[in-house]
């Protein structure tokens, strides 16, 4: 149950998509004066060392954030959405290098105002200890709460929030197939409790029926509820399993991921229309690299 560690994957292409969308969404939601409550269902450790053992072992950040922050990164200026993301990550680093990667909790906290609230849920015991220690250094007081709870269930007691404004970020590991069903159950319940909240679900695009069914079912859910929705995907390489000359099997790792939002900012689609082609251009690893973007409601 607890084998997944995000430290291996911090700053990869999936984080680029997820966190660029998260930042754009938060910037929009914090334009209004009323207090905002943010619920992060699977918070992780909060901060990650890109020069640490986990990140160096996987090398995934070198195909993600590090391609965007490299001093010699080619091409035209970044789209505003991607530039905001890069600037946010750089703010956690001193000098020219990118050695620290902020997870969702630290990205969110950085963008919140003093009267906003952040609830962080984490079950993994090691990540929970790291998260609590990292958050303590923020000296954020009662603004940030770290909860040793199942985020799928834990968010229920916070919906609807006092000021009736909320963003829910749901990004489980999906290591267990049951996570897909739990996401759908959580979303169905959340929309009944607080239909006007903004909900952002990240998911991996892998050869598994549940992964392809999830966005379809979320779309149907949004349509039945009469809510607007947005679905963005980023593919950086082929998902095919290959063999080398010695007959050894090579698995591609995570080739693609998606973000599905219900009640997204009305500005998000245009921002992604500019940013997604650049993500493909800069992060794509083979000719299968592509993106999709659709919205409705």
Select from 186, 220, 179, 181 the least CA-distant residue to 200. Answer: 186
Please tell me the distance from the alpha carbon of residue 218 to that of residue 27, in angstroms, as a whole number: 24
- Return the residue matching tokens 């607007």: 228
How much is the average pLDDT of 63-89?
89
Please tell me the distance from the alpha carbon of residue 199 to that of residue 262, in angstroms, as a whole number: 5
Domain annotation for the chain: domains and CATH numbers = 6-296 (3.40.50.150)
Are 37 and 119 in contact, with CB atoms under 8 Å apart?
A: yes
Which residues have C-beta within 8 Å of that of residue 272, sequence separation ≥ 6? Answer: 21, 81, 230, 232, 293
Q: Is the pTM of this model over 0.85?
A: yes
Predicted pLDDT of residue 240? 82
pLDDT at 4 over 50: no
Predicted pLDDT of residue 241? 76
Which residues have C-beta within 8 Å of that of residue 125, sequence separation ≥ 6? Answer: 2
The whole-chain average pLDDT of the chain stands at: 93
pLDDT in tens, 177-226: 999 999 999 999 999 999 999 999 999 999 999 999 999 999 999 999 99
Predicted pLDDT of residue 139? 85
Higher pLDDT, 259 or 77: 259
Q: What are the residue numbers of the active site?
A: 171
Are 185 and 172 in contact, with CB atoms under 8 Å apart?
A: no
Q: How confident is the model at residue 7 (pLDDT cuts 50, 70, 90)?
A: confident
């Amino acid at each position: 149950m607890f084998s997944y560690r995000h430290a291996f994957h911090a700053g990869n292409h999936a984080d680029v998509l997820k966190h660029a969308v998260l930042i754009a969404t938060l910037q929009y939601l914090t334009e209004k004066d009323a207090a905002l409550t943010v619920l992060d269902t699977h918070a992780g450790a909060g901060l990650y060392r890109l020069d640490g053992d986990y990140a160096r072992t996987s090398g995934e950040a070198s195909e993600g954030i590090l391609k965007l922050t490299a001093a010699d990164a080619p091409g035209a200026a970044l789209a505003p959405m991607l530039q905001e993301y890069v600037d946010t990550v750089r703010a956690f680093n001193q000098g020219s290098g990118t050695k620290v990667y902020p997870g969702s909790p630290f990205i969110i906290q950085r963008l919140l105002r003093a009267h906003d609230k952040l609830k962080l849920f984490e079950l993994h015991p090691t990540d929970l200890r790291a998260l609590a220690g990292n958050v303590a250094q923020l000296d954020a007081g009662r603004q940030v709460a770290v909860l040793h709870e199942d985020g799928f269930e834990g968010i229920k007691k916070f919906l609807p929030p006092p000021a009736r404004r909320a963003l829910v970020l749901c990004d489980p590991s999906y290591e267990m197939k049951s996570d897909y069903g739990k996401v759908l159950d959580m979303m169905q319940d959340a929309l009944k409790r607080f239909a006007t909240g903004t909900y952002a679900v990240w998911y991996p695009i892998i050869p598994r029926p549940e992964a392809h069914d999830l966005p379809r079912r979320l779309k149907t859910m949004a349509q039945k509820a009469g809510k607007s929705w947005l679905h963005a995907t980023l593919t950086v390489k082929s998902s095919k399993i290959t063999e080398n000359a010695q007959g050894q099997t090579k698995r591609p790792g995570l080739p693609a991921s998606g973000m599905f939002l219900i009640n997204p900012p009305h500005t998000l689609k245009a921002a992604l229309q500019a940013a997604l082609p650049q993500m493909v251009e800069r992060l794509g690893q083979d000719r299968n690299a592509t993106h999709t973007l659709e919205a409705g409601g």
